[in-house]
Structure 1
Amino acid sequence: MSESTPRKLRVGWHREHFLSPLLQFHAKDGGETFELVECPGGTGEMQVKLKNGEIDLCIALTDALIAGLANGQTSYKLVGRYIASPLRWAIITGKESKYNSVDDLKGTTFGISRLGSGSQVMASVLSLQQGWKEDEQPKFKINGQFKPLRDSVNSGETSCFLWEWFTTKPYVDSGEVRFIGSVYTPWPCWHIAASPSFPTDLLSTFLTSLEPYVTHFNSPQAREKEDVEFVSGYFGHQPQDVVEWLSTVRWEEGLKVVKKEVVLETLSVLEKAGVVKPQEGGWDMATFVDTNVAQLA
């Protein structure tokens, strides 16, 4: 690549319907300005790839991104917001497992994709919300990607795992796994993070270019038919499930913003759940947000 050639952005993503506007943008862009790097392990894998210099930006789970930064990761910062609504995490067990309720899961081994991933963070939040005692806290087994997690609950190696509801529903419909509950994030569920070493002007241009696709996908007109057809066609979800999902989700209007209140409230819950340790003297927003790209509101 010559010095005059603009550096192509490498965007980490996970195969979830929330990323539909990004996929539409990529189809239009044709790979000219950015390339997609799929991360089947979810947010935890994206964090590893950011650290290893394999991607430059990702759209990922708010809680795991903030927890990583609070726990000392320096390979990325928040550069924007993405989803305004909470995420519904399904609590999933094996088709023939002995676990039939959330209460049955106390003190058992939960499958997680990676340490620090959303699947681990939300297991700790679930424990907090349920009021489980110290000896009832979940233990964790790292299984990596979605398929090994499903295999693990069916083999009995783990009691359950947490994953996004509608991503998992086809496997429940087919009888491979079962739902025994759900838990919602107490925060807007997706944010955008990027490497501080990537040129900020190119990051800003990318986010500005993505925004019209998000706005259109979020519109009432697109939700009536176009969004349903895209998600159903690309991801294979049943149209009625897509309609139900769309009724629960709202994208942010204005991506290049990070709200201080959201960061602090998320940190407060993560502290109570034991995912991060309280910071003496309070948290410095410079740890979390790249204000060369995002407005701190």
Structure 2
Amino acid sequence: MNRIRIAGVPEHFNFPWQLSIENRDFESQNIDLQWTNVPEGTGKLCQMLRNNETDLAVILTEGIIKDILAGNSSKIVQVYVKTPLIWGIHVAANSNFYTLNDLKNTRAAISRKGSGSELMAFVNAHNQNWPTKDLQFEIVNTIDGAVEALTHQKADYFMWERFMTKPLVDQGIFRRLDDCLTPWPSFVIVATDNLIKNQPHLIDTILEIINIQTSSFKKIPNITTTLADQFNQKKEDIEQWISRTEWSQEPITEEVLNNVQNQLVEVNIIDKKGTFAELALH
């Protein structure tokens, strides 16, 4: 049995992996796929790839591009979710912030440096024509840390996937001011250079299995009820999320990669662009 480690955020996007593991789809191909939930998100996942703590990761597109350009020895092997990620912009329910403009020159809670929550604060600032050099950050590690920071005014706003944060809005802990969409595919699957070099056939097999799962995922009977129960969501919220989410079964193209990099340069997230060969398996 070939042991392969994979990591990703404990969110509804990754439920197809859980199903395939539970169904023993990987075991049937002599692969022991060991999944690790990483609630801290992209910054932590990048660190795990760098430290050889995982072989594969399901990770935000913008975060891994930035980290590969900064020396992470990994490659994008496929787009996982091709639709944009919807980032809700949240404040404490009892805060005095009511519009996006109220958040200018305030402190953003982020999970860690290099995380999606940090990078999207730059995208949002760019969209609002705020000087990105004025952005201030408070590292909170997880969504629980963000609740603590906003509630006790250690930070002023927090950007996180809209639907996963919705229960906190429903409970009156957060108030959502607006949304900020990624102008690129939200998630990609990444492999370390070491895995690509030594066991490329296993990557191909894993992708074949997960692609079968994601291509039919929406047709699973009662999938919205299952997801609502699993992730403490209202069924109507899951129905809205699943109708807006499209998984991919395709490699990333040079055109998409260049488009993402052009936008990352524009919002000052990266200062140089990489080649297709540096960033993706082809």
Q: TM-score, normalised by structure 2?
A: 0.93
CA distance in 2, matches of 1:111, 1:68: 20
Where in structure 1 are there 5+ consecutive unaligned residues? 1-5, 292-297
Larger mean Cα displacement after TM superposition, 29-38 or 140-149: 29-38
Q: 1:81 to 1:229 in 2, by over 3 A?
A: same
Query: 1:10 maps to which residue?
Result: 5
Secondary structure at the counterpart of residue 15 of structure 2? helix
Per-residue CA deviation, residues 249-272 of structure 1 (Å, 9 max, x unaligned), is 1111x24x1111111111111111
In structure 2, what is the equivalent of residue 95 of structure 1?
93
Q: CA deviation at 1:189?
A: 0.7
- Name the counterpart of 1:216: 216
Deviation per residue, 1:135-166 (Å, 9 max, x gap): 6x321121111100121111111110100000
CA distance in 1, matches of 2:234, 2:106: 33
Structure 1 counterpart of 2:80, from 58, 79, 82: 82
Deviates more, 1:73-82 or 1:187-196: 73-82
Match of 1:258, SS state, is: coil
Distance 2:151 2:99 in 1: 16
Partner of 2:39: 40
1:241 alignment partner in structure 2: 237
What is the aligned counterpart of 2:276 among 273, 285, 297? Answer: 285
Is contact 1:95–1:175 with CA below 8 Å preserved after alignment?
yes
Give the equivalent residue in structure 2 for 1:271. 265
Partner Cα separation in structure 2 for residue 169 and residue 93 of structure 1: 12
Q: Does the residue aligned with 2:159 lie in a helix, a strand or coil? A: strand
In 2, distance between residues paired with 1:177 and 1:30? 39
**Is the aligned partner of 1:147 residue 2:141?**
no
Counterpart of 2:281, as a letter, is: D
Shift of the alpha carbon at 1:134?
5.6
Residue 246 of structure 1 aligns with an amino acid whose one-letter code is: I
Change (3 A) 1:133 1:50: closer
Deviations 1:200-222 (A, max 9, x none): 1111111111111101114xx43
Q: Distance in 1 between matches of 2:25 and 2:141?
A: 30
Q: Report if aligned partners of 1:110, 1:141 keep a CA contact under 8 Å in 2.
A: yes
Name the count of aligned residue pairs: 275
Tell me how far apart the structure 2 counterparts of residues 177 and 74 of structure 1 sit (CA, whole Å): 35
Root-mean-square deviation (CA), in Å? 1.5
Please point out which of 175, 180, 184 is paired with 1:178. Answer: 175
| Mapped pair 1:51 → 2:50 | yes
Cα deviation digits, residues 210-249 of structure 1 (max 9, x gap): 111101114xx43xx5320221122121111111111211
Alpha-carbon distance in structure 1 between the residues aligned to 2:192 and 2:47: 12
TM-score by length of 1: 0.89
Q: Which amino acid aligns with 1:274?
A: N
Structure 1 distance, partners of 2:60, 2:130, is: 24
Structure 2, unpaired ranges of 5+ = none
Is the deviation greater in 44-53 or in 126-135? 126-135
d(CA) in 1 for partners of 2:277 and 2:238? 38
